[in-house]
Amino acid sequence: MVSDTIQVVVADERHLCYVDDILSAIREAAKVSTNSIVVRDPSYLADKIREGKAVIAVEGAIFVGFCYVETWQDGEFVANSGLIVRPEYRGRGIAWRIKQQVFQLCRQRFPEARIFGLTKSPAVRKMNAHLGYREVPYAQLTTDSGFWKGCSTCPHYHQLIANDMKSCACTAMLFSPSPSGER
């Protein structure tokens, strides 16, 4: 069920007031061992909002959901990260709306970039597949150490390190703008 009262938009300066709510929702989700969401610093999320690299869902003045974009290797790779919907809003198609909007944002701002994500969520894997992502080995993702450092707050980080950054609890998924997946 999709709610017409919920707006899903590219975040901007007027959405900075939601950073604490976003982080609170992410922290709560990170406590669940079946999740793999990364907790970021408030200034990091605020910067994503200021840069126009985030999508937010709101209902009136209430924060509903969020996702942000990160670029790696000089824009060769783009990641969608931090997809979150507050528990009381789940099951209403909001995550799908956010995912579609963030995907379009990536395609518009970084049309040649390969878009990737890591997830443990069957629902996110299904959304990604519907958008044209495919499951890939970690070796096909960015080699930027900054990206992998971001995984350090994930409860499964020890597994990533133990596997020499080649696999973890998450499924790696990649969308390539070219049919072959190569650039």
Which pair of structure tokens corresponds to residue 158?
């020890």
Tell me the per-residue pLDDT of 2-27, one tens digit each, with 9 for 90 and over. Answer: 557 999 999 999 999 999 999 999 88
Separation CA 168–CA 121 (nearest Å): 13
Tell how many helices (H) and how many strands (E) occur in the chain: 6, 7
Separation CA 15–CA 32 (nearest Å): 26
Separation CA 40–CA 26 (nearest Å): 9
First to last CA, the chain: 39
Tell me the per-residue pLDDT of 115-130, one tens digit each, with 9 for 90 and over. Answer: 999 888 888 999 999 9
C-alpha distances (whole Å) from 93 to each of 53, 63, 128, 161 are 21, 15, 14, 35
pTM of this prediction exceeds 0.85 = yes
Span 85-108, average pLDDT: 95
